[in-house]
């Protein structure tokens, strides 16, 4: 099939790679280059880098609603658009520009977790299963009919990052199967039920602030769902302490209090129970074992993780 591919981050790369190998990807649409790092140097999206390497024309536009954008899409004369984490809601004029419409790879079992961060919120909410939905885009937020689903377990130590790494190739294989079914006329889109529908809003940097008054299980899931971005953090003297490898464990104390530390990590009290944190990253420092940080800061049992801690 002749395909226009729309996507931006690393999550879209396995699908783009699979489509380049199996179909005619005639145009790649992605977000504009963005400033990155301390020097704010413009950096292209990962999808653009792959498209350039494959010699595929790339369209970068701030808006998907301009006449110029639509004209470029129509000029591609593609059979279908495949959309993976593109980052913009497509207007009806674009959705109707392809004989087979726009097919989306979504990182949840719809109708659960519609929205921008389905993988992260599935981990945050303590789900034990998620997956991939291949759906036909409509004008709503992930409300279109579903063509097929593929499930994936969420493991006890999964972070959003580790789950991303498994769901991305699962989405690639699922889109190839879906396109084959579309070509053969063998797939029947099924309307989503509103029963059980939920929303997965985009995460913000401040969402990473740890609330020690949560229970241990809820907090561990939240911290894993925020890894790698925005990352879980708690304020200390000099900035924010980033926390990694969180697991619920036994312990009792005032929320935010360091209970103990050893080679496994640092145990910090929550509202009920405690969190074992394996690694931390202090402001301006590299990531390190939590116990080494605690020893270096002389955080004896009973110390509170707060801006009043000694530098």
Element containing residue 67 per DSSP (H, E) = helix 67-75
> pLDDT digits over 27-82, tens only?
999 999 999 877 889 999 999 999 999 999 999 999 999 999 999 999 999 999 99
Phi, psi dihedrals of residue 135, rounded to the nearest 5°: -135, 160
pLDDT reported for residue 38: 78
Give me the residue spans of the domains in the chain.
2-184, 205-297
- Residue pair 46/11 in contact (Cβ under 8 Å)? The answer is no
> pLDDT digits over 70-98, tens only?
999 999 999 999 999 999 999 999 999 99
End-to-end CA distance of the chain: 60
Architecture of domain 2-184: 3-Layer(aba) Sandwich (3.40)
Instruction: Output the CATH code of domain 205-297.
Output: 3.10.25.10
How confident is residue 238, by pLDDT bands cut at 50, 70 and 90? confident
Residue 125's nearest CA partner among 20, 13, 200 is 200
Determine how many CB atoms are found less than 10 A away from the CB of residue 126: 14
Cα atoms found within 13 Å of the Cα of residue 192, Cβ hemisphere only:
27
How confident is residue 309, by pLDDT bands cut at 50, 70 and 90? very low
pLDDT reported for residue 306: 58
Residue 210's nearest CA partner among 273, 143, 255, 252 is 255
């Amino acid at each position: 099939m002749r395909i226009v591919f729309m996507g931006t981050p690393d999550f879209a790369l396995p699908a783009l790679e699979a489509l380049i190998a199996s179909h005619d990807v005639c145009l790649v649409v992605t977000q504009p280059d963005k400033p990155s790092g301390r020097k704010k140097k413009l950096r292209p999206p990962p999808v653009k880098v792959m498209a350039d390497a494959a010699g595929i024309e790339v369209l970068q536009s701030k808006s998907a609603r301009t006449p110029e954008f639509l004209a470029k899409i129509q000029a591609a004369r593609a059979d279908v658009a495949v959309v993976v984490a593109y980052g913009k809601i497509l207007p009806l004029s674009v959705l109707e520009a392809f004989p087979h419409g726009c097919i989306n790879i979504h990182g949840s079992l719809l109708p659960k977790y519609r929205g921008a961060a389905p993988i992260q919120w599935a981990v945050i909410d303590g789900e034990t299963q998620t997956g991939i939905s291949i759906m036909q885009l409509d004008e709503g937020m992930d409300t279109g009919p579903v063509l097929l689903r593929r499930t994936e377990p969420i493991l006890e130590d999964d972070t959003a990052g580790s789950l991303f790494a498994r769901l991305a190739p699962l989405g690639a294989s699922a889109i190839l199967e879906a396109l084959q079914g579309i070509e053969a006329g063998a797939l029947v889109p099924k309307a989503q039920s509103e029963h059980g529908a939920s929303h997965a809003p985009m995460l913000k940097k401040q969402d990473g602030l740890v609330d020690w008054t949560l229970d241990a299980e809820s907090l561990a899931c939240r911290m894993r769902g925020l890894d790698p971005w925005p990352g879980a953090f708690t304020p200390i003297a000099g900035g924010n302490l980033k926390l990694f490898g969180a697991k619920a464990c036994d312990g009792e104390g005032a929320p935010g209090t360091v209970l103990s530390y050893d080679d496994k990590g640092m145990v910090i009290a929550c509202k009920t129970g405690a969190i074992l944190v394996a690694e931390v990253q202090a402001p301006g420092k590299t990531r390190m074992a939590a116990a080494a940080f605690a020893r270096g800061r002389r955080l004896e049992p009973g110390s509170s993780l707060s801006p009043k801690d000694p530098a």
